């Protein structure tokens, strides 16, 4: 079991600048809220700017002194990712924390603007591209970290390199698991490459367990949870989004972590509870698989770094 860690034990974040993708709801919102409460400078990287403005007002109301900036980012569009990175560089000269949180879950088959299957394209490739563009801004920042969110859906998941775009068949749950496994492998491989390059930045993975967020609608958060899904969520015994955000916050701020760790809830099956380092995924770290995923990701996104 973990040690009951909550945001009460989270260090003050004054002087920290954090970018959080998908910060308009769920885990992302709770993560942004915690950093705002701890005096960090928070950049809300959000696709829906109208929704983002509402969230920013809510956070400002709760924390009047919070330093918040809202920036548009669509992780399903490589051009949007490049624009975000360029606009960020025009505004800021450094970054302490990058929280790769945003995601879509089990939508009907769709492709991104760049032709990728939506879940793999947004959840993994979008964050892969974003991280590559943002890392130079983290190079000389003490205690800089990248935290990438995965999921309990990695259980039984695999990377089907022969059908990444779903053109040979698509099963939405299978493809969600594939995208979250890619997140896990990316976080670990990124840390190994950072270490090999002598960088001070570290990379970690996290997962929220079964948290009650709008991912349980139809994946995109565009539709409300129906009566049947509400029953399913209850039966799954999900925890709150606030509890679900704790592993990410722990991974981003706890001084004991050296990089490469995967943090999740300490309860049975990793479904709920307080954050702890999860060693159950160690058997998934196949060096050849991680290297192949990295090479394919560089090829598909056109983003090369830490070679």
d(CA 243, CA 231): 20
123: pLDDT confidence band, cut at 50, 70 and 90?
Answer: very high
The answer to whether residue 306 sits within a structural domain is no
Task: Give residue 306's pLDDT.
Answer: 64
Tell whether the model's pLDDT for residue 227 goes beyond 70.
Answer: no
106 contacts 172 by C-beta, under 8 angstroms: yes
Q: Which of 282, 305, 298 is nearest to 124 (CA)?
A: 298
The answer to whether residue 66 sits within a structural domain is yes
The answer to whether residue 141 sits within a structural domain is yes
**Model confidence pLDDT, tens digit, residues 153-210:** 999 999 999 999 999 999 999 999 999 999 999 999 999 999 999 999 999 999 999 9
218 contacts 226 by C-beta, under 8 angstroms: no
Tell whether the model's pLDDT for residue 225 goes beyond 70.
Answer: no
Name the 3-class secondary structure at 56.
Answer: helix
The answer to whether residue 2 sits within a structural domain is no
Q: Where are the alpha helices (DSSP H) in the chain?
A: 26-37, 49-62, 78-91, 118-119, 127-134, 172-197, 227-235, 241-244, 246-253, 287-301
**Model confidence pLDDT, tens digit, residues 245-282:** 999 999 999 999 999 999 999 999 899 999 999 999 99
**Model confidence pLDDT, tens digit, residues 89-115:** 999 999 999 999 999 999 999 999 999
Rounded to 10 degrees, the C-alpha dihedral 131/137/141/144 comes to -10
Q: Which of 281, 155, 269, 249 is nearest to 209 (CA)?
A: 269
The answer to whether residue 1 sits within a structural domain is no
In this prediction, residues 219-232 reach a mean pLDDT of: 45
228: left (phi over 0), alpha (psi -120 to 50) or beta: alpha
81 contacts 129 by C-beta, under 8 angstroms: yes
Supply the CATH number for residue 277's domain. 3.40.50.720
| Count of the separate structural domains present in the chain | 1
The answer to whether residue 29 sits within a structural domain is yes
Task: Give residue 1's pLDDT.
Answer: 45
Per DSSP, 76 falls in state T
Q: Which domain holds residue 19?
A: 7-301
Tell whether the model's pLDDT for residue 219 goes beyond 50.
Answer: no
Tell whether the model's pLDDT for residue 21 goes beyond 50.
Answer: yes
Task: Give residue 238's pLDDT.
Answer: 77
Q: Which residues are catalytic?
A: 170
The percentage of residues in the chain with a pLDDT greater than 90, rounded to a whole number, is 88
């Amino acid at each position: 079991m973990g040690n009951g860690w909550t945001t009460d034990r989270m260090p003050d974040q004054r002087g920290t600048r954090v970018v959080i993708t998908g910060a308009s709801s769920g885990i992302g919102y709770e993560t942004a809220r915690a950093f705002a409460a701890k005096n960090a400078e928070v950049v809300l990287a959000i696709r829906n700017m109208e929704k983002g403005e509402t969230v920013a007002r809510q956070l400002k109301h709760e924390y009047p002194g919070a330093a918040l900036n809202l920036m548009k980012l669509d992780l399903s569009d490589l051009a949007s990712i490049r624009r975000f990175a360029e606009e960020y560089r025009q505004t800021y000269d450094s970054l302490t924390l990058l929280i790769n949180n945003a995601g879509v879950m089990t939508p009907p088959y769709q492709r991104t603007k760049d032709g990728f299957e939506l879940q793999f394209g947004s959840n993994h490739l979008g964050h892969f591209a974003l991280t590559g563009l943002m890392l130079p801004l983290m190079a000389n920042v003490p205690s800089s970290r990248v935290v990438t969110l995965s999921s309990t859906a990695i259980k039984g998941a695999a990377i089907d390199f022969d059908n990444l775009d779903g053109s040979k068949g698509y099963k939405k749950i299978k493809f969600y698991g594939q995208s979250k496994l890619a997140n896990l492998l990316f976080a670990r491989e990124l840390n190994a490459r950072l270490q090999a390059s002598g960088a001070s930045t570290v990379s970690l993975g996290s997962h929220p367990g079964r948290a009650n967020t709008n991912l349980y609608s139809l994946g995109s958060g565009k539709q409300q949870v129906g009566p049947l899904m509400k029953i399913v969520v209850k039966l799954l015994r999900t925890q709150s989004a606030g509890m679900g955000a704790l592993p990410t916050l722990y991974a981003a701020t706890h001084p004991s972590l050296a990089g490469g760790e995967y943090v999740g809830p300490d309860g049975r099956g990793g479904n709920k509870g307080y954050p702890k380092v999860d060693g159950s995924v160690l058997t998934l770290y196949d060096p050849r698989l991680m290297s192949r995923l990295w090479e394919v990701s560089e090829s598909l996104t056109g983003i090369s770094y830490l070679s």
